[in-house]
Amino acid sequence: MGSALKLVAQRVALGLLLLLLVSGLIFIGTQLLPGDVAQSILGQSATPEALANMRRDLGLNEPALTRYLSWLFNALQGDLGTALTNGQDIADSISGRMKNTLFLAFWAAIIAVPLAIFLGLLAVRYRDRWPDKMISAVTLASISIPEFLIGYVIMYVVGVKLRWFPSVAMINDGMSLGEKLSSIAMPVMVLTLVVLAHMMRMTRAAILNVMQSAYIETAELKGLNRFQVIFRHAFPNSVAPIVNVVMLNLAYLVVGVVVIEVVFTYPGMGQYLVDHVAKRDVPVVQACGLLFAAVYIGLNMVADIVSILSNPRLRHPK
Amino acid sequence: MSRIPVAAAVGLFFTALYFLAAIFAPLLAPYGVAEVVGDVWEPSSATHWLGTDNIGRDLLTRLIYGGRTTIFIATTATILSFTTGATLGFLAAVLGGWADQVMSRAIDLLMSIPTLIFALVVLSVMPVTLPVLILVMGLLDSTRVYRLARAVAVDINVMDYVEAAKLRGEGRVWIIFREILPNALSPLVAEMGLRFIFMVLFVSTLSFLGLGVQPPAADWGGIVKENKDGIVYGIPAALLPAVAIATLAISVNLVADWILNRTTSLKGGRG
Amino acid sequence: MSDAMLEMRDLRIGATAYPPGEPPQDIEIVHGISFTLQKGKVLGLIGESGAGKSTIGLAALGYGRGGVKITGGEVWINGRDILKGGLRGLRKLRGAEVTYVAQSAAAAFNPAKKLMEQVIEAAVHHNRCSKSEAEARAVELFAKLGLPDPETFGNRYPHQVSGGQLQRAMTALALCPQPDLVVFDEPTTALDVTTQIEVLAAIKEAIRDTGVAALYITHDLAVVAQVSDDIMVLRDGDKVEYGPTDQIINAPQEDYTRALVSVRSINHEEKSPTPDPVLRVSGISARYKGTSFDVLHDISVDLHPGQTLAVVGESGSGKSTLARVITGLLPPSKGEIEFSGRTLSPALEGRPREDLRELQMIYQMADVAMNPRQTVGTIIGRPLEFYFNMRGAEKRQRIKELLEEIEMGDGFLDRYPAELSGGQKQRVCIARALAAKPKMIICDEVTSALDPLVADGILKLLLNLQKIEGVAYLFITHDLATVRAIADSIAVMHRGKVVRYGPKSQVLSPPFDDYTDLLLSSVPEMKLGWLEEVIAHRKMESAGN
């Protein structure tokens, strides 16, 4: 068990280091590139005095390292600064939107993950027959279709033509869970479709990979039936790859959310980020970028940790 | 070459069609790209085959010019991404040692941020112009090409035939261009198709979010954005460019699939 | 018919072939095989790759690997045709009446489960006994098969035990449900020769004690001669010869069987050393980059012009590492290499082109030793271009000569490696080495991946070329029969050291050191009762100590 724990600890440390480096990268990306924040805010017609004042107020005259460190320390304490455009506290604005985004992503994951694994198993069970081929075709189509097309097609068909759900996914704290769910039904549908094909295909590949192992043949030659072979012998070895697939796709979901929120004008993090990129509100962009990256890095880390923990060679060293 | 499967033929046909339309856009388009020629969201008619857009421009014209912009950006960004990624990836594999370590860890870092988020962060401070877009897209995507190129080259580099060439006394140039490259080509070419599709989707997404190609220039993602408000009134104008994106992407995918299958089944593949 | 436990009648097996660039085709790979196996008897199925021996073995369980299907004939086990019972019937049979031992036990065990759980699974699943009975039986089998700590052996995971132990555990897995028939599919092929003999003896004893019938599949006639009562020789899915082991080994009727029996019996007259060796390795020690222990310790050997030095050892003995040191791929940490009277630079980069030309190398896996995107002409032509600056017609003429030398016509000039057979690929590699007009060629296990008859052809070619060209070989191998066939002098390696070195006649004659004795006595001999003799001899010796 010792070596596995050590590896996990190393992986966590690596995750934290990555996050630190990423924060630096985001900071450099927004501060040191040729654009000038003050200029962006005030526009081309700003007077030199106004620019100078703005720079001073923003702390732009301090050395970059000082600014980075103070930004980082504040961020660690939950202070993400204030938005340039409306002067509001970013942490306050984000927390509500974060909740909405997680609510949306959560329901999409709840539906997509079991469905994808089930369909992936189905594809393996009926390998090279029509269910498998159909899944392949759908996958090909889905990696070629932009998320917003799926979004608008569903909005057009389900929302506008069939009128089952509202086209705009408004959500607020006053709504009951049922109302909220009905409101996010369409974005959830789209997000599910966006990750489903990919996850299905990767699940299929992961299980097929295991099913081609010699020990599966051994199990079949013991006279076990197909269910027993899969459940007793394939499944214990498929957990790690499947968790990996799920985590990678959840990470992908995080990105997909950005576009889908814009399509359905859903009040989440993605919408918030895109709005403020357009307004060149750098502190907000930094904060959102950091949070998205943290979620992404975290999910990838979980995937790696699960594969470390489920590796029998590491769990039971010689 | 003798038999082309139906799927690949369809893919080839549409890919060629789109590229030709992009090249000859000014000849093909019935109206000017920014020319207001009718009412808002006119349905399709003999004069406007696909109807008009949100401010009364001919939608077919917009689509043809939009395709030109989208395909141009995607193509140049793919070329940039490929040259950078493949060169660095091959170098890392052949040099090995600390050069490989430094490059690979830097790429790991870049890839730990989702591409779209990274692009948004950078575009929030950079002026959104065509060269900037192409540069940002190409460089961010080159990380993936780097990984593939390096992995493929590392695999080939340990083959006995490469060792045999080294023992013969061959120089680095021979080894890269005569031993490694010919064997790395087919996975890379297939990947090129996928990268191109990704670029099309990427630039469309950015434009759709309002952070890509700026109006009045047209590109497919931008046309979706301009016409998206029509959807709630039941006007499908926004779906057309999205369908164009999807068909182009699927066609390229079919072609890439075919190339990959063809080259790997030929001569027993690599090793 | 009463005692027949397995009977195959006109068994036909088909598969789907995927010729490149053409639609898939159905082909027949086993063409009407019939035989009967009595209770408690062992039938050896022998043949080269593609003979269909494993396919026939799996047919006894009604199983076809990857798209292989039984297309005709009958398989009778215990008085019923198992092909008539459907998949349900087959599942009752598999793991109960008939069990299977795979070639690679390392892959055949589930890495996520303890050995005991896997060994008793079939017995418990088929209700042949209770879980505790099965466990007791497994422990008994572990003990019988000579596994360490039989009581607790089953608590380990597959990766925690050695390859030889795993192969024995696989045998325990097959015997635990008390089947009537076990199919052994090349159970010792992947093992080192000293491990092979132990596993072979354990399997033989287990078969005898349990009274089970067995199909024993292998490509090694000497091995099968030790365990089987009858032998069937197969070639390309057809029966060549079928008879009692004694007759097949001592009085083979068919040419093909005779060739198999007399394989590895090339006799090579030993040449005496010359005063000036072409290669002199003195006091070489080496370690891998970033490690702190030597994998080679103080190696000193000589190779004389026009002669063959065989470096023999099991996996991990350091024999291939020695080749890497000599080629300059792994510079030694100590010692010196002299070649043609001059001291070689330790690292490849420091060697002049002339040194590289005169010291060529041939690899074990010919398919990965040739660039799949180059034609045979390009592959052989490159050294001509590179070392002798040959171009055009002159080069083409020389390539044709070389193709003649390796007994292949110039029709192969424009072929790609993938279009050649295994033996032809290795010949092209030999031609590439010869093209440089070397003084010495390092041959690294060049025949190990080939079928015995093909390997024999390659060895004969190498000997012939040595006579004509006067080239010296440093021949690295694990196979003592090959060593006997071609060596002038021999170096036996064990754990990074040369434990015995000298002219062939001397190295292969007693008195032996312990390791060489073990190694030599472990090589299966083409005679009946050899295994018993060796085991009895070893028991006596260990009792005497």
Q: Give the DSSP H or E segment for C205.
A: helix C193-210
Could you tell me the CATH number of the domain that includes residue C359? 3.40.50.300
Return the domain boundaries, chain A: 96-279
Shortest Cα–Cα distance, B32 to chain A (Å)? 26
Q: CA–CA separation, A69 vs B240, rounded Å?
A: 48
Q: Kindly state whether C416 is in contact with chain B, defined as any CB-CB distance less than 8 angstroms.
A: yes
Which of A144, A152, A273 minimises the CB distance to B250? Answer: A144
Q: Which of C234, C261, C288 is the last residue of a domain?
A: C261
* Chain A residues with beta carbon closer than 8 angstroms to that of B127: 35
Question: What residues of chain B score a pLDDT lower than 70?
Answer: 1-3, 262-271
Q: CA–CA separation, C316 vs C295, rounded Å?
A: 9
Sign of torsion over alpha carbons C319, C324, C327, C331: negative
Please tell me whether residues C354 and C221 are part of one structural domain: no
Shortest Cα–Cα distance, A156 to chain C (Å)? 44
Q: Kindly state whether C499 is in contact with chain B, defined as any CB-CB distance less than 8 angstroms.
A: no
Q: CA–CA separation, B209 vs B222, rounded Å?
A: 8
Phi-psi region of A130 (alpha: psi -120 to 50; beta: other; left: phi over 0): alpha
Of all residues in chain A, the one with the smallest CA distance to C176 is: A222
Please tell me whether residues C319 and C190 are part of one structural domain: no
Please tell me whether residues C319 and C442 are part of one structural domain: yes
Task: Give the number of residues written for chain C.
Answer: 545
Q: CA–CA separation, B263 vs B251, rounded Å?
A: 19
Could you tell me the CATH number of the domain that includes residue B170? 1.10.3720.10
C446 in Cβ contact with C364 (< 8 Å): yes
Q: CA–CA separation, A32 vs A26, rounded Å?
A: 10
Question: Smallest Cα–Cα separation from C361: which of C430, C272, C266?
Answer: C430
Inspect the interface and report whether the beta carbons of B164 and C363 lie closer than 8 Å: yes
Q: Per residue in B138-152, pLDDT tens?
A: 999 999 899 899 988
Q: Per residue in A131-178, pLDDT tens?
A: 788 887 877 777 778 888 888 888 888 877 777 777 666 777 777 777
Partner B, chain C 309-338, Cβ-Cβ below 8 Å: 327-329
Please tell me whether residues C470 and C322 are part of one structural domain: yes
* Chain B residues with beta carbon closer than 8 angstroms to that of C350: none
pLDDT in tens, chain C (545 residues): 457 889 999 999 998 877 666 677 888 999 999 999 998 899 999 998 888 899 999 999 999 887 788 998 999 998 889 998 888 999 999 999 999 999 888 889 999 899 999 999 999 999 888 999 999 999 999 998 888 899 999 999 998 888 889 998 999 999 999 999 999 999 988 888 888 898 899 889 888 888 899 999 998 888 999 999 999 999 999 999 999 999 999 999 999 999 888 876 677 778 887 778 999 999 999 988 878 888 999 999 999 999 999 999 988 888 999 999 999 999 999 999 999 889 999 999 899 999 999 999 999 888 889 999 899 999 999 999 999 999 889 999 999 999 999 988 888 888 999 888 889 999 999 999 999 999 999 999 998 888 888 998 999 999 999 999 999 999 999 888 888 888 999 999 999 999 999 999 899 888 888 899 888 888 888 888 889 888 888 888 777 65
B176 in Cβ contact with B119 (< 8 Å): no
Single-letter amino acid code for the residue at C173: L
Model-wide pTM > 0.90: no
Phi-psi region of C445 (alpha: psi -120 to 50; beta: other; left: phi over 0): left
Shortest Cα–Cα distance, C89 to chain A (Å)? 9
pLDDT (0 to 100) of residue A200: 85
Q: CA–CA separation, B117 vs A81, rounded Å?
A: 20
Question: Smallest Cα–Cα separation from C193: which of C502, C394, C461, C483?
Answer: C483
Domain count, chain B: 1
Shortest Cα–Cα distance, A160 to chain C (Å)? 48
Q: CA–CA separation, A285 vs A205, rounded Å?
A: 37
Q: CA–CA separation, C390 vs C411, rounded Å?
A: 21
Q: Kindly state whether B23 is in contact with chain A, defined as any CB-CB distance less than 8 angstroms.
A: no
| Domain presence at residue B188 | yes
> Which residues in B60-219 belong to E strands, given as ranges?
none
Single-letter amino acid code for the residue at C68: V
* Chain B residues with beta carbon closer than 8 angstroms to that of A105: none
| Domain presence at residue B248 | yes
pLDDT, greater one: C10 or A44: C10
C468 in Cβ contact with C475 (< 8 Å): no
pLDDT (0 to 100) of residue C527: 83
Inspect the interface and report whether the beta carbons of C368 and B182 lie closer than 8 Å: no
Inspect the interface and report whether the beta carbons of B239 and A156 lie closer than 8 Å: yes
pLDDT (0 to 100) of residue A140: 74
Query: In which domain, by residue range, is C129 found?
Result: 39-68+86-261
Choosing among 3.40.50.300, 3.40.50.2020, 1.10.3720.10, 1.10.357.10, the CATH entry for A96-279 is 1.10.3720.10
Please tell me whether residues C148 and C217 are part of one structural domain: yes
Q: Per residue in B37-88, pLDDT tens?
A: 777 777 777 777 777 777 778 888 888 888 899 999 999 999 999 999 998 9
Please tell me whether residues C422 and C496 are part of one structural domain: yes
CB neighbours of A59 closer than 8 A, spacing ≥ 6?
A67, A70
| Domain presence at residue C143 | yes
Shortest Cα–Cα distance, A148 to chain C (Å)? 40
Domain count, chain C: 2
Q: Over 50: is that where the pLDDT of A246 sits?
A: yes
Query: In which domain, by residue range, is B101 found?
Result: 6-263
Q: Two tokens at C216?
A: 């024993």
Which of C96, C100, C108 minimises the CB distance to A215? Answer: C108
Dihedral angle of Cα C204, C208, C214, C220, to the nearest 10 degrees: 20
Please tell me whether residues C238 and C352 are part of one structural domain: no
Axis-axis angle for helices C193-210, C131-144 (nearest 10): 130
Inspect the interface and report whether the beta carbons of A146 and B253 lie closer than 8 Å: no
* Chain B residues with beta carbon closer than 8 angstroms to that of A297: 112
For residue C80, give the 3-state DSSP assignment.
strand
DSSP-assigned letter for residue B66? H
Please determine, for the modelled complex, whether the ipTM score is greater than 0.85.
no
Q: Which of C209, C240, C261 is the last residue of a domain?
A: C261
| Domain presence at residue C211 | yes
Rg (CA), chain B: 22
Please tell me whether residues C321 and C226 are part of one structural domain: no
CA distances from A182 to A98, A171, C190, C431 (A): 19, 10, 62, 75
A1 in Cβ contact with A268 (< 8 Å): no
Q: Give the DSSP H or E segment for A121.
A: helix A90-125
| Domain presence at residue B1 | no
Inspect the interface and report whether the beta carbons of A296 and B123 lie closer than 8 Å: no
